[in-house]
Amino acid sequence: MSTTTLPPTKKDAPKSAPAATTSDRARSERKLGWLLAGPAFLVMLAVTAYPILQATYESLFSYRLTDPDNRSFVGLQNYGVILSDPLWWQSLWVTALITFVTVLVELVLGFALAMVMAKALSSIRPVVRAAILIPYAVITVVSAYAWQFAFDINTGFVNSWFAWIPGVGTDTDWFGDFGTSIFVICLAEIWKTTPFISLLLLAGLAQVPEVLQEAAKVDGATWWQRLWRVTLPNMKAAIMVALLFRTLDAFRIFDSIFVMTAGANGTESVSFLAYRQTISRLEIGLGSALSVLLFLSVVLIAAIFIKGFKVDLAQARGEG
Amino acid sequence: MSRREKTWWWVGGALIVVYCLFPIAWIVSLSLKAPSDLNTGGFLPSAVSWENYQLILTGGASDLFLPALRNSFGICLIATAISCLLAMFAAYAIARLDFPGKRLILSTALIVAIFPIISIVTPLFNLWRNIGLYDTWPGLIIPYLSLTLPISIWTMSAFFREIPWEMEQAAQVDGATTWQAFRKVIVPLATPGVFTTAIIAFFIAWNDFLYGISLTSTSAARPVPAAIGLFSGESQFVEPTGAIAAAAVIVTIPVVLLVLLFQRRIVAGLTNGAVKG
Amino acid sequence: MPNAPGRSGFRGPAPAPLRGRSRSRRRGVAGAAALLVTAGTLAACGGDSGGTPTLTWYFNPDNGGQVELARRCTEEADGRYRIETAILPRDASSQREQLVRRLAAKDASIDLMSLDPIYVPEFAQAGFLAPVPEDVAERVTEGVVQSAIDGATWDDELVAVPFWGNTQLLWYRKSVAEAAGLDMTKPVTWEQIVTAAQEQDVELGVQGIRAESLTVWFNSLIESAGGSVIEGNADDPENLELGLDSDAGRQAAEVMKMVAESGQAGAAFSTENESASAAEFEGERGGFMVNWPFIYAQAVSGVEGGTIDQAVLDDYGWTLWPSVLPNVPSAPPLGGIDLGIGAYSANVDFAYEAAECITTDENQAYYMINEGNPASSAAVFDAPDVVEKFPMADTIRQSLEQAAPRPQTAYYNEVSGGLQREYHPPASVQPGDTGPKAAELIAAVLRGEQLL
C-alpha cells in the first residue's frame, strides 16, 4: 500500500526523467527520508535499546544500592535465583491468568460493543462514542481506586447491593483472598480496556464488505451464520491485532495490582515483582535480571503471535 | 429497521453508556461524601460535602496534590510536544517519501510500544541517579517519549497518508511558492492529524504511573497518579479515601473534556493508527 | 485541617539555593537533555535564594504538628537558618523507599528526616546519616526513655536524635470488660481477651494486613513469649541468627492463629490496618483492640466533631499490651520517630541545632498534645497539660519502658518482608511450621538466593 498511496505525480515523475536523475532523486529522497525520520528513530532506540542493554549488563552483578561496597560480578547467578524461585513462577502464572481472562472477556464484550456501535442509530451514536472513550481515557490508577473502593468492605456499595447473590454478604472481604482479589482486578482491567478493543473491532467491522453480507442474506443465511462465515473471517486481521496488543499490554499489568492489593494473597504480577526488587529492595542486580526476563517473555509472546498465528502487522496496519 | 429492533439498539446503547460511566459516577459520588459518611455502604452521599476537595486544594493534602498537578501538566505537555514534533517529520517521510528503512522505523515503533515499562525503569533509575536526572522533569520527559513517540508515529503517518499531497504541486503550478503552497494547502490538511495525535499521546502520558513512582521521590517532579497513591488522610492513620476520590475526579476532568470536545477525532485517530486494511 | 494557613506560608517552592546549585552542576552531565533540564529547573525551582541557609525536613504525614515545629524553630533560629518541610508518604516502608533512593544518589537537599527507628540501622550502615556530635548526643539523650535511645542507636553509637516514642496499648470498652468479668487492673493475656471477646461477641481489633503492622504484632508476640526474631546479630547478613524456630516463635504463632480463628477479628481481618481497627472499636461491636495512642486523640476530636458519642469515649479503657504467657509482663510494640541528619547535607551543624530545637521537652509536649503521639522524653509525661489531655500518660510511659524494639538490623526490610510473606494471612499460620519456613526464607533472601 505504501506505493499505491503515493501521489500520482511522484510516480509519473521518474518516467519522464532521465535515468541518471532517477537514481540521484532516489538517493536524495533516501537521504531526506532518514534525515526526517532519523531523530525519532534514534530517540526510540535511546529510550529502549540502551536501557535493556544496560539492564543486561547490570543483571550480571550482585549489587544492592544501600551496600555499594559489596558489588560483585556473579555471572548468571541472578537468573538462576529467579528461575528456581517459586515466587517468579507464581507471579508469572498470575500474570498469565489475568492476561488470559481479561483478553478473552474483552474480546467478546468488545465485539458486542462494536456491533451495537455499528448499528446504533445516528441520533445516539455521538453519546455512545463519547461514553466509550471515557474508560479509555481515564487514568488506570483512578479506575483501580474506583473499583477498589466499590468493593471495599467499609467504603464500598457492592456488598450491600449484591448481598442477594449467594456467597456475597455485608462482610465479604473481596481483597482477603486470592480468587476474589483477582476477580476484582480483572473486572477493573476489563472495564478500562474493553472500549479500546471495541474501537479496533469497530474499524475492522467497517471493512467487512457490505456486498458479502447482502449476498449471504439473499442466500438465506441466519444472523449467526453470517457472523461466523462472513463477518468474523473478514475481520481476522483486526481481531488479531487487537488480540496481540491487548495481550502484551495485559502482560505488563502493574497499576491495578499496586493500588488494589499491593501483591498480597499471591496476586503479584511479574512487573510488580520486578518493581519491588529494584525500587523497594534496591537490589539492582536481581531487578535487572527480572527486567531482562520480562522483556524476553514479551518478545516470546509477540513471536508466537506473529509466527504462530501469522499476524501480519504490516498488512493489518496498511503497510503491505 | 423495525421499530422493535430500533428499541433494542437504543437499549444496547444505553447499557453501554451506563457501563462506561458507572465507575466514574461512583468516584464522583465518593468524593462528595463527608468522612463520617464514607462507611455507610451507600452509593450516594447522604449530604454533599466539599470537604475532600478542600483537603486536596487548600488543606493538608494540597502540598502533595497541587505540585503534582503542575508537574503532570508540564511533563505531559512537553513530552507530547516533543514526540509530536519528532513524529511529524518521521510521519511525513514515511507517508511521502520512498526510502528503505521505512518498515524498520514502523516496526521499531511497534516494538517500543509493547516494551515492558519495568524493563526500562530499572536501568533508568540507576542511570538517572548517577547523572542527576532522578526526580526531575527531564527525568520523566525522556522516558515518557517511549510511551508517546511510537503511537504518535503510527497515528500521524496514517493521517498523513490520506493527505492529497498532489494539491501542493497544483498550488505551485498556480503560481504559489513552495512555502506558500505548504502553508496554505498542506498545513490546514495536516493540522487535524497532528492535533488528534497530540491528544492521544497526551492521554498516554497522563496515564503513566510506573515511571512516575519509580523515577521521582518528591514534589519536584512527582506526577498526579503517583501522588494519589501516596496521599495521607487527616492524620497518619486515617484512610485517605475521600482525598483520593477527590483527586481522582480532578485528574479525570481534563481527559473527559478532551473526550467530549474531540470524540470524533480521537476515534478516527485510534482506529486509523491501529487498523487499516 | 488545622494549621492550614500556617502551612501555605511554608509551602513555598523547592528549597532554592541547594537544589539550584546541584541542578546546574549536573546540567553539563546531562548533555543532550540540557534544554529539557532548563525547562524543568525553571518550572520546579525559582524560589528566593537569599543568604539564609535553608534546611529541608522530610517528615511523615501528621496533623500539621511537624510543620508547626519547623515554624517555631525557624523563628527561634532568628534568621540563622530556615526550616522548610517536605512531606513523605504514609507508611513507613514507602517513606524509607523515597529517602533511600535520594540518599543513594547523594542528595544534598536532605537535611533532616523523620525516620522510623526500624530503618535507622540500615541508614547508619549505609553511611546515610551524619555522625552525631558528642555534645549533642549527650544533650538529646538526657532524660529520654531507654527504649527510644536504643532505637536511635546502632553499633553502640547514637546515630539519630530521638523525637517521639510510640507504643501500643490494649484498649478495651469498660462495659465489655465488666460484663466479661475481666479485672483490667491486672495484666491480661491474649487468651483471656480472645475468650472474653467470644463470650461477649464483640470485635477484637488487631492489624492483620500484610504490611509493617503485621511485623509489629508478631514481633511483640515473640518478644512477650521471651524470644526474639533475631537472636544473634551480625554485620554480614548471611550470619544473622534467627529465633523463629523456637518455643517463643511457636507461642507467638499460636496467638496469631487463635486471634485469626476466633471469629471476632472482623470480616476484613487480613486487610485490617490501624485505622480500620480504630473505626471498628468506635463502633457498636467494639470490644478490645491493640493500637497506638493516636486513636484516643482521634476519638476525642470525633466527639468534638459530633461523629462519636461522649458515652462511647467515656467507655474507653486502657492498659498494658496483653501478655502471651500468664504472669510474664508483655513486651509492647515500640514505634516513633527519630530525626536523622542527612550525611550529604551542606548544613550539618545547623541541622543538629534544629533537631535539638525540635525535640525540646516543650515541643515534644506540644506535639503529643496535638498529635496524640507520645514523647520520648520521660519528663513530658508529667507535664500538667499532657496529663490532662492524656489520662493514660502514665500507662504510656510504663509501656514505653517495657516495650521491645523490632529487630535491629541493616537488613530490616528483608527480615520484615519475609515475616509478612510467611505470616500473612494470619489464619494460614501453622505454629509448628510457619516459623521454620520463615526462617528459611529470610536466610535464603539474605544470602541472595531467593526473591522477596
pLDDT of residue A313: 58
Specify the number of domains making up chain C. Answer: 2
**CATH code of A107's domain:** 1.10.3720.10
For residue C228, what are the CA distances in angstroms to A15, A291, C259, C328?
Answer: 88, 36, 21, 15
Give domain status of residue B10, yes or no.
no
pLDDT grade for C352, boundaries at 50, 70 and 90? very high
Least confident piece of the model among A257-261, C233-237, C299-303: C233-237
For residue A314, what are the CA distances in angstroms to A2, A181, B274?
Answer: 10, 38, 10
Give domain status of residue C246, yes or no.
yes
Q: Residues C219, C326: one domain?
A: yes
Tens-digit pLDDT profile for chain B (277 aa)?
677 878 888 888 888 899 999 999 999 999 999 887 887 778 898 889 898 898 888 877 788 889 999 999 999 999 999 999 999 999 988 888 888 888 888 888 888 888 889 889 888 888 888 888 888 999 999 999 999 999 899 888 888 888 887 877 788 788 887 778 778 888 888 888 899 999 999 999 999 999 998 888 888 899 999 888 777 555 555 678 888 999 999 999 999 999 999 888 888 888 765 444 3
Q: Residues C356, C411: one domain?
A: no
Residue A3 has pLDDT above 60, yes or no: no
- As a whole number, mean pLDDT of residues C313-336 equals 93
> Which residue has better confidence, A19 or C153?
C153
**Terminal CA-to-CA distance of chain C, rounded, Å?**
38
Question: Which residues, other chains included, contact B176 with Cβ-Cβ below 8 Å and sequence gap of 6+?
Answer: B184, B185
Give domain status of residue B65, yes or no.
yes
How many Cβ pairs within 8 Å bridge chains B and C? Answer: 126
Give domain status of residue B47, yes or no.
no
pLDDT of residue A312: 60
Q: Residues C184, C200: one domain?
A: yes
Specify the number of domains making up chain B. Answer: 1
pLDDT of residue B9: 81
Nearest chain B alpha carbon to A41: B105
Q: Residues C321, C346: one domain?
A: no
Least confident piece of the model among B253-262, C94-103, C122-131: C94-103
Give domain status of residue A279, yes or no.
no
Query: What does chain A come to in residues?
Result: 320
Nearest chain C alpha carbon to A66: C126
Structural domain that includes position C46: 4-159+335-402
Nearest chain B alpha carbon to A141: B225
Query: Inter-chain contact B132–C23, Cβ cutoff 8 Å?
Result: yes
Nearest-CA distance from B137 to chain A in Å? 16
pLDDT of residue C262: 92
> Which residue has better confidence, A122 or A47?
A47
Q: In this complex, which of C44, C87, C97 lies closest to B64 when CB atoms are compared?
A: C87
Give domain status of residue B230, yes or no.
yes
Q: Residues C188, C73: one domain?
A: no
Give domain status of residue C346, yes or no.
yes
Nearest-CA distance from A125 to chain C in Å? 42
Specify the number of domains making up chain A. Answer: 1
Q: Residues C211, C113: one domain?
A: no
In the numeric block, which cell numbers belong to residue C88? 513523605
Q: What is the pLDDT of residues A205-215, one digit of tens each?
A: 887 888 888 88
Beta strands in chain A (DSSP E): 61-62, 72-73
Q: Which chains touch B (3 or more CB pairs under 8 A)?
A: A, C
> Which of C87, C110, C291 should one mutate to test binding to chain B, selecting the residue with the greatest count of B CBs within 10 A?
C87
Give domain status of residue A315, yes or no.
no
Q: What angle do CA C38, C40, C42 make, to 5 degrees?
A: 65
Closest C-alpha to B197, from B266, B145, B274, B142: B266
Query: Inter-chain contact A116–B207, Cβ cutoff 8 Å?
Result: no
pLDDT of residue B273: 54
Nearest-CA distance from A147 to chain B in Å? 7
Query: Inter-chain contact B236–C60, Cβ cutoff 8 Å?
Result: yes
Residues of chain B numbered 63-102 and touching chain A (CB < 8 Å): 86-87, 89-90, 92-102
Structural domain that includes position A237: 88-272
Reported ipTM: 0.91
Interface of B with C (CB under 8 A): 35-36, 39, 55, 58-60, 62-64, 70-71, 74, 78, 125, 129-139, 141-142, 217-221, 230-240
Query: Inter-chain contact A119–B9, Cβ cutoff 8 Å?
Result: yes
Residue C18 has pLDDT above 60, yes or no: no
Give domain status of residue A5, yes or no.
no
> If DSSP states are collapsed to H, E and C, what string results for chain C?
CCCHHHHHHHHCCCCHHHHHHHHHHHHHHHHHHHHHHHHHHHHHCCCCCCCCCEEEEEECCCCCHHHHHHHHHHHHHCCCCEEEEEECCCCHHHHHHHHHHHHHCCCCCCCEEEECHHHHHHHHHCCCECCCCHHHHHHHHCCECHHHHHHCEECCEECCEEEEEEECEEEEEHHHHHHHCCCCCCCCEHHHHHHHHHHHCCEEECCCCCCHHHHHHHHHHHHHCCCCCEEECCCCHHHCEECCCCHHHHHHHHHHHHHHHCCCCCCCHHHCCHHHHHHHHHCCCEEEEEECCHHHHHHHHHHHHCCCCHHHHHCEEEECCCECCCCCCCCCEEEEEEEEEECCCCCHHHHHHHHHHHCCHHHHHHHHHHHCCCECEHHHHHCHHHHHHCCCHHHHHHHHHHCECCCCCCCHHHHHHHHHHHHCCHHHCCCCCHHHHHHHHHHHHHCCCCCC
Q: Residues C281, C379: one domain?
A: no
Class of residue A75 by CB neighbours under 10 A (exposed 0-12, middle 13-18, buried 19+):
exposed
Contact C299, C313 (CB under 8 A): yes
pLDDT of residue A13: 38
Q: Residues C149, C178: one domain?
A: no
Nearest chain C alpha carbon to B136: C40
Give domain status of residue A98, yes or no.
yes
Query: Inter-chain contact A33–B102, Cβ cutoff 8 Å?
Result: yes
Least confident piece of the model among A23-32, C54-63, C209-218: A23-32
Give domain status of residue A310, yes or no.
no
Q: Residues C248, C346: one domain?
A: no
- As a whole number, mean pLDDT of residues C208-237 equals 90
Q: Residues C255, C175: one domain?
A: yes
% of chain C beyond a pLDDT of 70: 89
Helix-helix angle A284-303:B102-114, to 10 degrees: 120
Q: Which chains touch C (3 or more CB pairs under 8 A)?
A: A, B
Nearest chain C alpha carbon to A282: C101
Give domain status of residue A166, yes or no.
yes
pLDDT of residue B41: 79
Contact C341, C152 (CB under 8 A): no
Give domain status of residue B12, yes or no.
no
Query: Inter-chain contact A191–B117, Cβ cutoff 8 Å?
Result: no
Structural domain that includes position B164: 61-274
Q: Residues C172, C271: one domain?
A: yes
> Which of B53, B54, B71, B237 should one mutate to test binding to chain C, selecting the residue with the greatest count of C CBs within 10 A?
B237
Contact C38, C26 (CB under 8 A): no
Contact C381, C397 (CB under 8 A): yes
Q: Residues C149, C103: one domain?
A: yes
Nearest-CA distance from A209 to chain B in Å? 12
* Torsion A148-C452-C438-C229 (CA) sign: negative
Closest C-alpha to B72, from B14, B140, B16: B140
pLDDT of residue B276: 41
pLDDT of residue C353: 94
Nearest chain B alpha carbon to C42: B137
Query: Inter-chain contact A142–B266, Cβ cutoff 8 Å?
Result: no
Q: What share of chain A is helix, strand, coil (3-state, %, to 5)?
A: 75, 0, 25
Query: Inter-chain contact B258–A26, Cβ cutoff 8 Å?
Result: no
pLDDT of residue A314: 52
Helix-helix angle A236-251:B241-274, to 10 degrees: 150
Nearest chain A alpha carbon to B273: A317
Give domain status of residue C451, yes or no.
no
Which helix (H) or strand (E) is A59 found in, with range?
Answer: none
Q: In this complex, which of B20, B42, B146 lies closest to A48 when CB atoms are compared?
A: B146
- As a whole number, mean pLDDT of residues A14-34 equals 67
Average pLDDT, chain C: 85
Query: What does chain C come to in residues?
Result: 452
Residue A268 has pLDDT above 90, yes or no: yes
**CATH code of C140's domain:** 3.40.190.10
> Which residue has better confidence, C92 or C376?
C376
Residue C420 has pLDDT above 80, yes or no: yes
**CATH code of B218's domain:** 1.10.3720.10
Contact C423, C260 (CB under 8 A): no
Does A262 lie at the interface with B, CB-CB under 8 angstroms? no
pLDDT of residue B59: 78
pLDDT grade for A6, boundaries at 50, 70 and 90? very low
- As a whole number, mean pLDDT of residues A208-223 equals 82
Q: What is the pLDDT of residues B227-271, one digit of tens each?
A: 887 775 555 556 788 889 999 999 999 999 999 998 888 888 887
Residue C13 has pLDDT above 60, yes or no: no
Q: Which amino acid is at C7?
A: R
Query: Inter-chain contact C271–A176, Cβ cutoff 8 Å?
Result: yes
Nearest-CA distance from B93 to chain C in Å? 24
Question: Cβ–Cβ contacts within 10 Å for residue C22, how many?
Answer: 17
How many Cβ pairs within 8 Å bridge chains A and C? Answer: 77
Query: Inter-chain contact A81–C450, Cβ cutoff 8 Å?
Result: yes
Query: Inter-chain contact B275–A161, Cβ cutoff 8 Å?
Result: no
Contact C124, C361 (CB under 8 A): no
Nearest-CA distance from A224 to chain C in Å? 46
CA separation for the pair A239, A107 (Å, rounded):
8
Interface of A with C (CB under 8 A): 62, 65-67, 77, 81-82, 85, 87-88, 153-154, 171-173, 175-177, 262, 264-265, 273, 276-277, 279-282, 286
Three-state SS for A139?
A: coil
Least confident piece of the model among A165-179, A285-299, B158-172, C420-434: B158-172
pLDDT of residue A63: 87
- As a whole number, mean pLDDT of residues C424-435 equals 91
